[in-house]
Amino acid sequence: MSVVRAERLVNLVLCLLSTRQYLPAESIRKIVAGYSDAPSDDAFFRMFERDKTELRELGIPLEVGRNWSFDKVDGYRIARRDYELGDIELEPDEAAAVALAVRLWDSPELTGAAHGALLKLRAAGVDVDQGVPAVVEPKVRTTEPAFGPLLAAVQARQAVGFDYRRPSPAELRSRSLEPWGVVSWRGRWYVVGHDRDRGAPRCFRLSRIVGDVRLLGRAGTVRRPEDVDLLKFVASSTNEPPETSTVRLWLAKHRAAGLRRRATVVGERELDGEPGDLVELEVLHTDSAASWIAGYGPDAVVLEPDVLRKAVHERLLAVAEAR
């Protein structure tokens, strides 16, 4: 959702909450900032209809009615009794679970929503202690660049295209997808939808998407089947043995100790005039290994396989561009 539309929806909610009378659409057009920008009456009414639908989908109850029997058009308002959060009773362990769930998210797209839920619980009088230390504190990370664009495409019900790196055989292919949703499975994010190239449902791991996600066609054209369970689909599609592979690295002399503890030195070699060791390392899941190896910067260079070398290179470029 764009910032402009989000601000307009907030203003609309505040307006309809602040009145006891039903406000007709023309009055709302004059009061709520953003509607005056509509170039015509038809454009305003289309915008207003979309906003009403959005509010209802968010669970905000719009009342429709007339103040007097001689009124010619319907008006709108939001009754506080229906809008305000009711009494919530959580057991201590349930409140702790809410606090832990808030701490799990590590994403600009999702952190705000999680903390917003926490504020609503506190406003309702629920004592949620977010500072209680956890025995373990995993992070559901959404650092993949494709996450935000794909999530937006799912919400807009719009098809997308992207370049996808297959692990075996190692190659890059262009895919066209009608996305149904984005889900997390075993610490990885996947987008599920109808693959136009194969003419069948497929899931794709976000960490293997290379480059930008491209929007295809018009918004509102993608239809998600009602009977599909995205999580079950991903679980059944990824039920495969671990991706164990041997990688060959160059490590700078006396550097990258963490890698050396797990590697076997097979020789020596100079790289760009710098002495180092050739090592071999067994890894599970080359995607997670790429982030690990990239953390050693210039002290670790992937020689084989090529797909891992490119993955590490992409992560180092992303860090350099962010500075």
Specify burial of residue 119 (Cβ count, 10 A radius: 0-12, 13-18, 19+).
exposed
- Residue 245: closest CA among 159, 161, 169, 149: 169
The whole-angstrom separation of Cα 154 and Cα 163 is 18
Q: Which residue has the higher pLDDT, 120 or 32?
A: 32
Per-residue pLDDT tens over the stretch 102-146 = 555 555 555 555 555 555 545 545 444 444 444 344 444 556 788
Average pLDDT over residues 204-220: 92
| pLDDT at 308 (0 to 100) | 83
Rg (CA), the chain: 26
Structure-block tokens of residue 14: 């505040």
Q: Which of 57-66, 112-121, 148-157 has the highest mean pLDDT?
A: 148-157
Average pLDDT over residues 244-269: 87
Average pLDDT over residues 24-37: 87
When pLDDT is cut at 50, 70 and 90, the band that residue 277 belongs to is: very high
Averaged pLDDT score across all residues of the chain: 79
The whole-angstrom separation of Cα 88 and Cα 39 is 44
Place of tokens 């990370």: 141
For residue 169, is the peptide bond before it cis, meaning its omega torsion is within 30 degrees of 0? yes
Which three-class secondary structure state does DSSP give residue 222? coil
When pLDDT is cut at 50, 70 and 90, the band that residue 195 belongs to is: very high
CB neighbour burial string for 159-177, b if at least 16 within 10 angstroms, e if fewer: bbbbebbebeeeeeeebbb
When pLDDT is cut at 50, 70 and 90, the band that residue 159 belongs to is: very high
| pLDDT at 168 (0 to 100) | 62
Per-residue pLDDT tens over the stretch 173-187 = 899 999 999 888 776
Beta sheet of 23-24, edge-to-edge order = 23-24, 75-77, 63-65
The whole-angstrom separation of Cα 249 and Cα 252 is 10
Is the pTM here over 0.85, yes or no?
no
Given a cut of 60, is residue 61 above it in pLDDT? yes
Per-residue pLDDT tens over the stretch 280-314 = 988 766 666 787 888 888 889 999 888 888 888 88
The whole-angstrom separation of Cα 221 and Cα 158 is 6
